[in-house]
Amino acid sequence: MDKWLELALEAAREAGVAIMRYHPQTLTVQYKQDGSPLTLADQAAHRVISDRLVDSGLVVISEEGEDRCLAAERYWLVDPLDGTKDFLAGNGEFTVNIALVDQGRPVLGVVFAPAINEFYWGAEGLGAWRIREDAAAALPAHARSASLKMAVSRFHDHPDVGLFASQNGITERVAIGSALKYGLLAAGEVDVFPRLVGSSEWDTAAGQAVLEAAGGQVLDWHTGEALQYGKPRRRNPRLLALRTPYGREEFKLKEYESELL
């Protein structure tokens, strides 16, 4: 696992350098078939990561690649620039996400925010860590909060988020972009993140690996089981991400379950 982690950290840092060459420049923006934006920074990061990870001998599945490789059993799952809208807004809350998926589970993840020079990483057997200002610190278990804090997306909201908050007595929301939400969960700075709009597997895999290494969970909203990978079109259902020591049974979800995507 150590060698995979070192390779992923190097690839993420190099991709971050490539991305920052375009930030905060005005960029020509293209749009994919699903309407999401694509920039030269996305493409540059994709090339850097693909070139670096090819030495592992494993398949590299990237948001910006063409082959989804649904039959692969062990592979890298990559979002070269997660939070493109944050990147274009110039708020610095965008990340490079690199995960190692084995038998449908993310077992290693690196989330790197190059604009603020902050890493989150986690792996089975190695725990979860944050590197901030080049100082590494393990992310230990945290006590319960006096009042729940909920992470929310800046650009991907849904009316049911407000319903979830009111049903569960949550009054404090923390808006944060990209996979940084999973890092804040792992660090105990927020407690819960309901993802109630569609997402793709490369959006969540690295963050899930980090959060699970810190004792948290990323759950399929419908089943309550840990999110699995290799789904059709690599699309996710609604999700509930929780830090330790919280559990799904502590939250009210079922009253509007009939409306789920």
Domain with 26 in it: what CATH number? Answer: 3.30.540.10
CB crowding 137-151: b at 16 or more within 10 Å, else e: eebeebeeeeebbbb
Residue 182 lies in a domain: yes
pLDDT, tens only, 147-156: 999 999 988 7
42 shares a domain with 65:
yes
Residue 22 lies in a domain: yes
Residue 93 lies in a domain: yes
* Cα 225 to Cα 29: distance, rounded to the nearest angstrom: 37
Residue 230 lies in a domain: yes
246 shares a domain with 206:
yes
Please state the separation of Cα 2 from the chain's center in Å: 21
pLDDT for res 258: 46
Domain hosting 220: range is 149-259
Residue position matching structure tokens 């693909």: 50
Residue 205 lies in a domain: yes
Nearest one of 60, 211, 187 to 130, comparing CA atoms: 187
Question: Are 11 and 45 contacting, i.e. CB atoms less than 8 angstroms apart?
Answer: no
134 shares a domain with 36:
yes
98 shares a domain with 43:
yes
Residue 235 lies in a domain: yes
Name residues whose C-beta falls within 8 Å of residue 143's C-beta, 6 or more positions apart in sequence: 245
* Last-in-domain residue among 105, 138, 171: 138
* Last-in-domain residue among 106, 138, 170: 138
* Cα 205 to Cα 203: distance, rounded to the nearest angstrom: 6
157 shares a domain with 90:
no
Residue 143 lies in a domain: no
- Rg (C-alpha) for the chain, rounded Å, is 17
- How many domains does the chain fold into? 2
* Cα 8 to Cα 92: distance, rounded to the nearest angstrom: 21
245 shares a domain with 209:
yes
53 shares a domain with 155:
no
Main-chain dihedrals φ then ψ at residue 12, nearest 5 degrees:
-65, -45
204 shares a domain with 179:
yes
Angstrom CA distances, 12 to 5, 73, 169, 189, stand at 10, 22, 38, 23
Residue 144 lies in a domain: no
pLDDT, tens only, 167-204: 999 999 999 999 999 999 999 999 999 999 989 999 99
User: What CATH number did the domain enclosing 200 receive?
Assistant: 3.40.190.80
pLDDT for res 24: 65
| Bond prior to 245 in cis (omega within 30° of 0) | yes
23 shares a domain with 111:
yes
224 shares a domain with 128:
no
* Last-in-domain residue among 103, 138, 173: 138
Question: Are 222 and 159 contacting, i.e. CB atoms less than 8 angstroms apart?
Answer: no
92 shares a domain with 9:
yes
The pTM for the full model equals 0.92
Q: Which portions of the chain are predicted below pLDDT 70?
A: 24-38, 254-261
40 shares a domain with 92:
yes
Containing 164, the helix (H) or strand (E) segment is helix 159-167
